[in-house]
Chains A and B, each alone.
Chain A
Amino acid sequence: MYKNFTADDTSTDIGIVTSGIWQDGASSIETFFSSSTQYTNTGDYNIDVYRYDPTNNASASVQFGVVYGNRDGSGSLGTKGATGDITTAAIFGQLNNLINPPETTTFTFQDNTTSKQAYAIVLNRARMREAIEPGGWELHLSSSKQAGAGITGSIIKLIDDSSTNNGGNSFQRNFAPEYNIVSGTLVGGTVIKTAASAEGSDGSYGTFYPSLGVLLVNPKKLATGGLGLITLSGSNSDDRNNRRFFNCIVDGQYFQMRRKEEITSTHYFVRAQSQQFNATTNETFYTQSAAGNKQVIPGLATDPKTYITTVGLYNAASELLAVAKLSQPILKSTSREALIKVKLDF
């Protein structure tokens, strides 16, 4: 009943699969919601962002988080000698510790090498799975509805520079590759409006870590680079800059992104040759006399035919390790051979 595979019957390949990262498999979303419950409890640290409004949609799930970090704790409550969690300092330390090499206390955004603050978009791990596809995302930001003085900017469109920055930046980081976030669009083919190296002393719009699922955004560039988003930096002040950045995302009304996975597949070629597998242990294949003698049912006795519905893959100890089902039974007879390719993904 078992048939051994030969060396020619198996092959393994690794394929890259990309798909929409957002809920329901969408590759772009235009609406963004936060949870009042989450924001009330931990909103000073991060804002969980949903595709659907969690207050009236039970299936709404977190898509990504938005944070603001400041090395000195500016923009959050607390300081030395005062109560408060200094949440922005905690966020800065978190990102700095994760991304930057030891003894580094600032972020580098191209020519701006001393940024002590950063916004970050952190993708939900389950949504991201393995990595974000470089060159597969575009984020629109708009500050048109921001409250406060000095808001003059219009919409900006951000992508990464992986299309021209092969292999990523060569700065020492804990995660590679690192790409720059630049102004541009994917519509009609990737177009970079201004390269990171041409952005001047304010630096690039940020850096992007596909394997980490983090977009690190440069606040200084958001203030001067067309968006006009002013990041508040009051001492011992609950400024909620992450909320202001979140509002820019809401107003931008567009976030496109794809995830990327490497899928290792093994293909098993199951060959049932003409003289094999033409009988079965299926009870309905036989009639049985009172004496217990089995006879193949009429119509199949002289011209035996069987049907394949299931393929079982076994190890040497005859343990059933994988099962493949066909969509419909396949006829097998002495005049028919069957070749079934069974794909097992890891």
Chain B
Amino acid sequence: MWILLFLLLFFGLLAAGMPIFLVLGMCASVLYFVSGQPIIGLAQNMIDQLNSTTLMALPLFVMAAAFMRRGGVAKALVDLCIAWLGPIKGSLGLVAVVSCALFAAISGSSVATALAMGTILLPAMLERGYPRSFALGVLGASGTIGVVIPPSLALILYGIVTEQSVPRLFLAGILPGLLQAAAFFVWVLYYARRKNFPAEPAMPMRERLRVTLWAMPAMAVPAVVLGGIYGGFMTVTESAAMAAVTSLFVSLVVYRGFRWPRVLDVIAEAIGSAAVIMLIIATALVFGHWMTGSGAPARLVQFAVAQDLGTWQFLLVMNILLLIIGCFLEVVGTLLLVMPILAPVLVPLGINPVHFGIIFTHNMEVGLVHPPVGLNLYVLSTISDAPIGEVIRGILPFLIILLMVLGLITYWPALTMWLPDLVFGK
């Protein structure tokens, strides 16, 4: 009876378009009230859940991304890629894939990547006569690489919710991210040849080296982050702060995309984007806390084990379920709703939570470009004035590639686990 009422409340509020943090907060309040716990405990729990140093990596990485996006870093990376890939047919498509992967290693957010690259490359591609649906498809799909390539906000959150090591998750994301980029690259190469897309004029070597040198400061950020964490010099949160400091310096001094007076504004904007996520975290963790106490995950574990599903069957069911949820909710919402329930099931079924983290985040990438509500689709449709149907048509081949990569990631654990096992041991 109570459960029915609760589900009604939960889905009713979601359907009404209530912000997710309020939906979870209201549900948690009702649960506290019904089970006779004082509501002040909920307030205490909410503020205590935010008291986590790992969580603070989030606003700091978002700040770094905001500096980078505003600071003219994207342009330097695009120029770098054009210098080296230019003479190949369909080079601007290839440039989109590679520079998105590079920018992803700096920013950690898919929408930010699609925005930063889309605003530069889309006009350039249209001017050179690429079909608009192809241009939109390659940009939207390449933007998703940012979800798994470190530093990834989604993986930080996954680490917090499932209590896994964030550095280990970061390493696990590298090879699947590169595989995805490589698969896109090959497809664009093939498609461009078939459709006879234009090439860019070759640059003299001297010019190439100059452009490469110019892009080097941008690459300092991933160097600081990865070197800092894996060299054992910094915690994840400290490396996020250093990424912010480095990117601020690079943007202000080297690329000069914005000036000193605007710094506070850009920071406020970045904290705004981070706050969207952190408010959800505060209520979602309270909700998850209650959920664990209620014994629902334990019953789910019993149920899952009793079904006698093989690991591969369970993973298949999970992928389908996540793809469906990914159609309606974005990355953070799905992660915080699903993972507290799902996390306890993984180990009894013989699934490594780190491996599952990559399956999960890759799944969410698919959701970002999946009709009907993929966020990247809307971002691209907005910046190009193209109808959403045209964006979907362009993204379809990439969607198929993404699903194939998802299959590989799911059923070939070594692809994900080899690198973290190599660095940290089993």
A and B interact: no
Residues of A near any B CB (own CB < 8 A): none
